[in-house]
Amino acid sequence: MTNREKKKKKEKIQTPEEKIERDKIFLLGAGVCFFMSLIFVLWVFSLNDFWQKEGKVSDSESQDSLEESFTQWSTLEEQFNKDWGKVKQKIKEVSQEKTNERSLNERKNIEELKNNLESELENNNN
């Protein structure tokens, strides 16, 4: 007997439980394929319907929609530029305040160092 014949004998000899399990797995796969196919077909019909509705829009409606979008975009751009200008101004103000504060602190430190140096010189002279 060849290997092929041995495999056929092994395949033919199955217990009823094994056959039931094999049938369950086959039915599960068939069910999954069926529902996937159903979803795909419905999706294709939905897209087809969507494209047909989009194609029916007249040129004047399309032009109006385009002009409205452009107007909205222009308004949005103007508002953004205005707000961005405010942000830049606020950054300048904060930066200037920090610079002034740093300068004031440096002046105070210089005055303290000067006073300390003067007091040490006076103590050394005495």
CB-count burial class (<10 Å; 0-12, 13-18, 19+) for 25: exposed
Residue type, 51: W
DSSP string, 97-124: HHHHHHHHHHHHHHHHHHHHHHHHHHHH
Q: Which pLDDT score, from 0 to 100, does residue 41 have?
A: 93
What percentage of the chain reaches a pLDDT higher than 70?
81
Neighbouring CB atoms inside 10 A of 8's CB total: 12
User: 17-39: per-residue pLDDT in tens?
Assistant: 888 999 999 999 999 999 999 99
**Both structure tokens of 29:** 């796969």
pTM reported for the whole predicted model: 0.36
What single-letter DSSP state applies at residue 83? Answer: H
Q: Tokens 């385009």 — which residue?
A: 66
